[in-house]
Structure 1
Amino acid sequence: MRRRVVSLWFPRLGSDRVLRTKSVSGPFVLTLSQNNANQIYCLNAEAERQGLSQGMPFADARSFCPNLTSQEADTTKDALFLSALRRWATRYCPWVGIEGRDGLVMDITGSAHLFGGEAGMLMDIRQRLARIGVSVQIGLGDSRGAAWALAHYGEGCAEIGQPLAALSHLPVAALRLGDDAVMGLQRLGLRRIGEVEAAERAPLARRFGPDLLLRLDQALGRQPEQIAPENDPPHYGVRITLPEPIGLVHDVMAGVSRLLSRLCSKLKEQEVGARVLCLTLRRVDQDAQIVEVCLARALSDADRMLPLFERGVGEIDAGYGIDQMRLQAVQTEALPTVQLSHVPSKRSDRLADLITRLGTRLGLENIRRLLPADSHIPERSFVVASAAYSEPESSWFVVQPRPITLFPPEPIAATESRPPLRFRWRRMPMTSGRIVGPERIAPEWWLEDDLWRTGLRDYWRVDTTQGRRLWLFYTPQSPGWFVQGEFA
């Protein structure tokens, strides 16, 4: 059986992806910063009719087309969209691979008859893509190179066993050559594939190397070229269908235990751990109850994860019974295998387990920790981070001691440059005892902070005879005293 290959090229992949959910009338382009310049990355058909092209500087495009609508390109989302199209294309054949950043290649050998022949298959592909707003150019040939050339430069079909007849009139760029090779062939007067095929091979090999003849032979089917299908990402989901409905918490937890054992086996095989688990319980009336568990650290241990479902399972409404259970790891992280050692690890999982248990009640986003920041300004010397997605710092280095309690500056009645011996703070009379300072802190000019626009601050540690250890500062530019913190 003669091999048949289909190449799908999506010339407007990025713009089609955006315009599927965004209605735009008129020319539209996606821009991308390249070589310190904002250039056109992808454009729709209307922009092409206005004379715009890919790679054109965006400033020039705006001058040619004043009513141009633009948006910044997102290459990551474009790659995900192309991956989704690859999965969709497996309905036609199992061997589907990604070709560059905007194309697919399909080996349809032996599967075209399922769609009424090659013409029927290509028509079905074109119609389905048109319905979802994706433009495509299709090439069909005996080899991967021939299909690619027809998709990008001819959009047609090569008859079985006759690739040269379909490719001879195409430009030499259709051989997937570099720019230097294409320009070199054009200087020799070889502008078409048929002209390259008719020329002597030995002089071409000496001047352009073996790559030119290899590409030519691949396009004409003389040299094989494999199609490597992309592997689907691992799916971390398991389910069980029950012969009889259940409703007791004990029975549901027994089912969750079985699901967790199977799921954790998959996680350990791939060396990943779950961060978010979603348990879906389908009732006999087709309604579904969902229990979500978020973990403070990636886990693949079923025994540690099972107790976390008890609270959520106890709150569900089983109705007339549950007949199907599905457990899926919605979010995963790499969790490589750790070599066992007699030396105790410094990393303890007790804190992560505590954060997870508290997170099931309060929400992981509500459990936070303070981390040190590189700044002398008291308000900027720390950052608030999620405890589940950060690690505690081993040390908090400061040149001068900082108070445990920090609050917004509170003025006190004093104007002299030395700390006052007697003052009132929060309606309490205070008498200064031991005084240490000053520590002068200047504003960080590269940051905008309204509280520090007044200038310098001189900080003092004042131990009062009443037992309070306060942190005061004085502002020389506008004389005044303030209390900002209290030591333990």
Structure 2
Amino acid sequence: MFDGIQRRVASIWLPRLPSDRALRMRPIDGPFVLTVKQKNANRIYCLNAEAERQGLNRGMPYSDARAFCPDLQSRPAEPIGDERFLQVLRRWATRYCPWVGLEGADGLVLDITGAAHLFGGDGMMLSDMRLRLSKAGFSAQIGLADTRGAAWGLAHYGEGLAEPGEALQALGPLPITALRLEEKTVIALQRLGLRTISELEGTSRAPLTRRFGPELMMRLDQAIGRQPEQITPLADPPHYGVRLTLPDPIGLYDDVMAGTSRLLNSLCAKLNAREAGARILRLTLRRVDQEAQIVELRLARPLRDPQRILPLFERGVADVDAGFGIDQMRLEATQVFPLPARQISTVSSSRKDQLEDLISRIGTRIGLENIERVLPADSHIPERSFIATPAVNSEPVGSWRALRPRPLCLFPPEPIAGTEPNPPRQFRWRRMPLSTAQATGPERITPEWWLVNDNWRSGVRDYWRVETQQGRRLWLYYTPQNPGWFVQGEFA
């Protein structure tokens, strides 16, 4: 009872949710199954009603199913997509009541206490649920009773409505599996001759409790209503969006920036309350002619500081065509990441913040994906000793560790005259005559045989650091298997 109102709970079971969802997107006539790979074999994950009439069932090997049903059609299952769609159905079900939770991977549970009269009573509400789900292409079984356990049992084994206070009468003829018991417990009870809930209710409780533990009687009491069972609704994900409706249209740059500042303060307050930071922000400016101007801002790192974010909007807002005026502004964080509070210390991190702000500012002009950072790679081959990655998805490395010095400037090998193993005393490089003053080496580097690299198929290389009398400090290498010299880098 709740404030004198009898509690009522509805359970919606969608026995073929995955296949119904797949057929809703791409309809198919005839038997149809979804398959999933288990233990190196494809098995049936879910199937439609036509496939069930052909004698197929879940968990059946797909090869056996094709033998039974040659015209069977199939697609790979998408369990993650099914989970997301169940969340969509949960939000849809809030049209009937605010308290909606998930019931396993294919069901919903609704606490409709005090809400059924809005739809004309319990029966009319259930009919409306069935009709809407059927029109959407979903087969559903619905049960309604005073308790969550009774509603679940009716949805799975009886599909019906239990009148207030008559949960036991409605559940009595149902099998004991309707009590949400483990399979081994059900088998043991059936061996004792207890097959229905009414037979279980009429048996002495003490011997059953000693043999099966307290869970058996707890499930029975929850279904009948002797023991309460709560329904915990899932909270909607936080929405990071704010809106500002203007009494008079605006069009000046300063006015739009002032409105953006107000929106940023409100949005960052929401982000701060949940210790989150925005990576992508979208500012939508609706004009009086119902057209919208969109300014999207991508940040190098999650932020929630309005003073640091606001200047980054300046370029985008300056390019906005206000037309006859803007009467509504909306700011939304479309990509949000956790941003825990940081401990304040004497060591300042302003230098890192300034670098990330610079990356964000440049990214608004050329795109964040075009700003790259060079990071070391685990390879002794010069061309493979580094990788270029987007700066927004990587962290800088404090120092590069190299066993031997490497040139700051590395370029494709450029041939020079010479065939002797020792560095040439006189050579021309890029039309410049150079003389060797000092040479250090050699450092032999062999190809990585486990990788395909056409430039290294000729064999080993002997690298030398050569200082010229003209001031150039070059990185040369010699190829013993095919005598020749090449310049590949220059030291600072």
Q: Same fold (TM over 0.5)?
A: yes
* Alignment deviations for residues 290-329 of structure 1 (CA, whole Å, 9 cap, x no partner): 1111111211111111111121111111111111111111
Partner residue in 1 for 2:368: 364
1:122 is aligned to 2:126: yes
Partner residue in 2 for 1:192: 196
Could you tell me how far apart the structure 2 residues matched to 1:103 and 1:384 are? 47
Partner residue in 1 for 2:239: 235
What one-letter code is carried by the residue in structure 2 that aligns with 1:21?
Answer: M
* Alignment deviations for residues 102-134 of structure 1 (CA, whole Å, 9 cap, x no partner): 211001111112122222222222222233333
Give 1:315-394 correspondences, 5 Å limit.
315-345=319-349, 348-394=352-398
1:260 is aligned to 2:288: no
SS in 2 for 1:395: coil
Partner residue in 1 for 2:307: 303
Could you tell me how far apart the structure 2 residues matched to 1:238 and 1:312 are? 19
Partner residue in 2 for 1:172: 176
> Any unmatched runs of 5+ in structure 2?
none
Q: Which moved more, 1:252-261 or 1:426-435?
A: 426-435
1:94 is aligned to 2:90: no
* Alignment deviations for residues 429-451 of structure 1 (CA, whole Å, 9 cap, x no partner): 55544333333334444444444
From the superposition, tell whether residues 39 and 459 of structure 1 become closer, same or farther in structure 2 (CA, over 3 Å): farther
* Alignment deviations for residues 117-171 of structure 1 (CA, whole Å, 9 cap, x no partner): 2222222222222333333222222211111122223322223322233323333
Q: Of the candidates 198, 203, 207, which is equivalent to residue 203 of structure 1?
A: 207
SS in 1 for 2:25: coil
What one-letter code is carried by the residue in structure 2 that aligns with 1:143?
Answer: T
Partner residue in 2 for 1:149: 153
Residue correspondences, number: 488
SS in 2 for 1:370: strand
Could you tell me how far apart the structure 2 residues matched to 1:369 and 1:430 are? 34
Partner residue in 2 for 1:104: 108
* Alignment deviations for residues 185-234 of structure 1 (CA, whole Å, 9 cap, x no partner): 22223233233222221111111100011111112222111111111111
From the superposition, tell whether residues 457 and 286 of structure 1 become closer, same or farther in structure 2 (CA, over 3 Å): same
From the superposition, tell whether residues 418 and 73 of structure 1 become closer, same or farther in structure 2 (CA, over 3 Å): farther
Q: Of the candidates 163, 170, 180, which is equivalent to residue 167 of structure 2?
A: 163
**Displacement after TM superposition at 1:280 (Å):** 0.8
What one-letter code is carried by the residue in structure 2 that aligns with 1:372?
Answer: P
**Displacement after TM superposition at 1:428 (Å):** 5.0
What one-letter code is carried by the residue in structure 2 that aligns with 1:332?
Answer: V
**Displacement after TM superposition at 1:85 (Å):** 1.1
What one-letter code is carried by the residue in structure 2 that aligns with 1:119?
Answer: G
**Displacement after TM superposition at 1:425 (Å):** 4.5
Could you tell me how far apart the structure 1 residues matched to 2:458 and 2:24 are? 52
1:395 is aligned to 2:377: no
Q: Of the candidates 222, 247, 250, which is equivalent to residue 246 of structure 1?
A: 250
Q: Which moved more, 1:197-206 or 1:183-192?
A: 183-192
From the superposition, tell whether residues 472 and 31 of structure 1 become closer, same or farther in structure 2 (CA, over 3 Å): farther
From the superposition, tell whether residues 249 and 444 of structure 1 become closer, same or farther in structure 2 (CA, over 3 Å): same
Could you tell me how far apart the structure 1 residues matched to 2:29 and 2:468 are? 72
SS in 2 for 1:17: helix
What one-letter code is carried by the residue in structure 1 that aligns with 2:357?
Answer: D
From the superposition, tell whether residues 453 and 160 of structure 1 become closer, same or farther in structure 2 (CA, over 3 Å): farther
Q: Which moved more, 1:225-234 or 1:371-380?
A: 371-380
Partner residue in 1 for 2:296: 292
* Alignment deviations for residues 3-58 of structure 1 (CA, whole Å, 9 cap, x no partner): 21111122233333333333445544444455565544333344434444333345
**Displacement after TM superposition at 1:97 (Å):** 0.6
SS in 1 for 2:362: helix
From the superposition, tell whether residues 342 and 483 of structure 1 become closer, same or farther in structure 2 (CA, over 3 Å): closer
1:434 is aligned to 2:426: no
Could you tell me how far apart the structure 2 residues matched to 1:474 and 1:65 are? 68
SS in 2 for 1:348: helix
1:272 is aligned to 2:276: yes
SS in 2 for 1:54: coil
Q: Which moved more, 1:421-430 or 1:9-18?
A: 421-430
What one-letter code is carried by the residue in structure 2 that aligns with 1:89?
Answer: A
Length-normalised TM-score, structure 1: 0.91
Length-normalised TM-score, structure 2: 0.90
1:281 is aligned to 2:285: yes
From the superposition, tell whether residues 12 and 249 of structure 1 become closer, same or farther in structure 2 (CA, over 3 Å): same
Could you tell me how far apart the structure 2 residues matched to 1:185 and 1:354 are? 70
* Alignment deviations for residues 331-368 of structure 1 (CA, whole Å, 9 cap, x no partner): 11111122323343487311011111111111111111
Could you tell me how far apart the structure 2 residues matched to 1:449 and 1:174 are? 64
Partner residue in 1 for 2:138: 134
Q: Which moved more, 1:152-161 or 1:94-103?
A: 152-161
Give 1:34-45 correspondences, 5 Å limit.
34=38, 38-45=42-49
Could you tell me how far apart the structure 2 residues matched to 1:195 and 1:436 are? 94
* Alignment deviations for residues 453-472 of structure 1 (CA, whole Å, 9 cap, x no partner): 55544433333445443334
Partner residue in 2 for 1:224: 228
What one-letter code is carried by the residue in structure 2 that aligns with 1:208?
Answer: F
Q: Which moved more, 1:136-145 or 1:20-29?
A: 20-29
Q: Of the candidates 56, 59, 76, which is equivalent to residue 60 of structure 2?
A: 56
Q: Which moved more, 1:3-12 or 1:182-191?
A: 182-191
Could you tell me how far apart the structure 2 residues matched to 1:254 and 1:450 are? 58
Could you tell me how far apart the structure 2 residues matched to 1:462 and 1:63 are? 74
> Any unmatched runs of 5+ in structure 1?
none
SS in 1 for 2:374: strand
What one-letter code is carried by the residue in structure 2 that aligns with 1:378?
Answer: P
Q: CA RMSD in A?
A: 2.7
